[in-house]
Amino acid sequence: MAAPAAFVLVVLLVPVIMRLCRRWRLFDSPGPLKIHARPVPRLGGVAIALALFAAPLFCGRVSVESGWPYFAGLALIWISGLVDDVRGLSPAIRLASQIAAGALVWRGGWRLPLLGDGAVDLAATCIFAAGSANALNFVDGSDGLASGVAGIIAATYIALPGAAGRPFGGAVAWALAGACAGFLIFNFPPRAKLFMGDSGSTALGFTIAFLGLNLYRSDGAAGPSLLFPFWVAALPLLDALLAVIRRLLGRASIFYGDRKQIYDLMLARGWSARRVAFACYGITAGLAVVGWMAVRTGSARFYLFSAPILAALVLAAIRLGSLEAGTREARIEQMRT
């Protein structure tokens, strides 16, 4: 029930949100770091987040008590993203909210394995949650990209019996898949009618991190399951990691953007937004299939098989120009906005 509920909620809410954005003039305007040429309503994350809040509760076996750390963390991240979308918010405050969200789910028992239960594991879980939230935010710059990639990742978790071992985690995965499918109706290239904004992209990223932590909690973190959450989300995580390295090498703040994300580099080579979306869907789906098969079989050969695939992805991204510094003008413009 969670997937159709999330889908219907998003489809019903988006037209209302679009009208409100037009009335209140809440648009994502064109600029040096934008690829769209016209103002587009930017609060689609409201519909996504409300669906992620409400849809899991449609499952009879799910209770608010069992999932309150996820809901509380999602609320923190969504509210900070929404404030940023509407009025602007310091990157440090947004990062603090993401770290706090990670601490909440850690306190609720969703943790990274092999690091014990102390401060090291707490820090690692917070970094994982914040990193995933920002990774989806980084890829949310081309129509249909973030929602499509997140939807594929959600579908992969649904297909894993271990991920559905706890009812609440399964309900969240279904809700994420339904919300992403509903949003794609309005955000699919070549002409998106609505953007999700930071409130939507960071909510998607945090939910993906939660699904990974839930897999560890339900599956016991054995064999290839250890790498699965990183493997299935390798495309956005790699893009985010390369962005941080690129900005550090260029002596720029990691909080300010450029036009060197993987989708930017594809578009610069003449690819259409639709072609970029399908290429990223294909890469994510391919990684998901390999990871799913590895977890299902439990074969240790996955580690040997995955290394050259990951190396090929890294080399392809570097060859596209992912480590080349952005222009000074673009960094200045991002600091002003």
User: For the chain, what's the residue count?
Assistant: 337
Q: Which residues pair with 91 in a beta bridge?
A: none
pLDDT score for 327: 52
Query: Who has greater pLDDT, 264 or 165?
Result: 264
Residue 335 has pLDDT above 50, yes or no: no
pLDDT in tens, 125-161: 999 999 999 999 999 989 999 999 999 999 999 998 7
Query: Who has greater pLDDT, 29 or 202?
Result: 202
Q: Residue 298: which pLDDT band, with cuts at 50, 70 and 90? A: confident
pLDDT in tens, 175-186: 999 999 999 999
Q: Residue 334: which pLDDT band, with cuts at 50, 70 and 90? A: very low
Query: Who has greater pLDDT, 219 or 158?
Result: 158
Residue 236 has pLDDT above 70, yes or no: yes
Q: What percent of the chain has pLDDT over 90?
A: 70
| Contact indicator for 11, 17 with CB cutoff of 8 Å | no
Residue 330 has pLDDT above 50, yes or no: no
| Contact indicator for 184, 148 with CB cutoff of 8 Å | yes
Decide: residue 262, CB within 10 A, 0-12 exposed, 13-18 middle, 19+ buried: buried
Query: Who has greater pLDDT, 162 or 158?
Result: 158
pLDDT score for 209: 98
pLDDT score for 60: 61
Q: Is the dihedral of CA 185, 189, 193, 199 positive or negative?
A: positive
272-310 b/e (C-beta count within 10 Å ≥ 16 → b): ebeebbebbbebbbebbebbbebbeeeeeebeeebeeee
pLDDT in tens, 59-113: 765 666 678 999 999 999 999 999 999 999 999 999 999 999 999 999 999 999 8
